[in-house]
Amino acid sequence: MLRIIVVLVALTAGGGAAWLAAQQSATAPAPTPVAEAPASAPTEMTAVLVAALDVPRGEQVTTEALRWQQWPADAVPPTFIERSARPDALADVAAQFAIRQISTGDPITDRTVSQSPNGFLAATLPAGMRAVAIQVDAQSTAGGFILPNDRVDVIHTVRDSRERNSTEAHSRTLLRSVRVLAIDQTTEDSESGTVLGETATLELTETQVEAVTAAVSTGILSLSLRPLEAMPGEASLELEEPLRTIRVRRGTIFEDVVIN
């Protein structure tokens, strides 16, 4: 009888343990699935025209010197030539001439090439601007360290003619932040860092051309080099009031007098 009781107790305990294990399995929360990271959208690309070879300034651009290159569509400036907009651009540009030195990989724009081997300077002038040359020397161009594409102030100097044999002179800033287009025939930076010339070609508006032309007839013009950090991205020209002169007659002698 005792043996039967022991067997029944063991069966009852085993069944209870099995029931408890089943209840715990039923109430355990299901594992949360790991969410997959969303796939990044591919960058939209477009083909732009670039130089496949170096092209020196003034050389004719060949077909071999051009190629289409993939470029992020959202980073293409409006000046770039896109294949989707101008599919025949490669053949069109191949017959033109390089306005400036073109390096391998440089994007090609309409301001990079010209239809004619001449007229480089005219092709680089922005709309509404004019090029005017003035006489200079080493002293008036910072010892030759003023180079094409530098920014300068134009200084007008006149001698006081109110008294005969006077050596007194007056100087004032006539123009500010003018871009130098060329020194003599040089339109690019010199490898030596200096260019000594007899003329400097400046980028001016029509009004400023008139002021410079009038100033040349009454005095001497010098160029003052502006610091690099002060150079604006675009031409920001500030025309100062020019010196005024009156002509005085003393008998048969005419004399120009500066009025400050």
Q: What is the DSSP string of the chain?
A: -HHHHHHHHHHHHHHHHHHHHHHHHHHSPPPPPPPPPPPPPPPPEEEEEEESS-B-TTPBPPGGGEEEEEEEGGG--TTS-BTTT-TTHHHHHTTSEESS-B-TTPBP-TTTEESSSS-HHHHHSPTT-EEEEEE--TGGGGGGT--TT-EEEEEEEEE--SSTT---EEEEEEEEEEEEEEETTB-S--TTS----SEEEEEE-HHHHHHHHHHHHHSEEEEEEPPGGG--SS---EEPPPPEEEEEEETTEEEEEEE-
Which sequence spans correspond to the domains of the chain?
45-123, 128-259
Name the band, by pLDDT with cuts 50, 70 and 90, for residue 217: confident
pLDDT 10s digits, 179-206 = 888 887 665 555 555 556 678 888 888 8
Answer with the residue of higher pLDDT: 115 or 138.
115
Name the band, by pLDDT with cuts 50, 70 and 90, for residue 235: very low
CATH of 45-123, one of 3.30.70.380, 3.90.1210.10, 3.40.980.10, 3.90.1200.10: 3.90.1210.10
Model pTM score: 0.49
Is the pLDDT confidence value at 156 over 70? yes
pLDDT 10s digits, 44-63 = 999 999 999 998 877 889 99
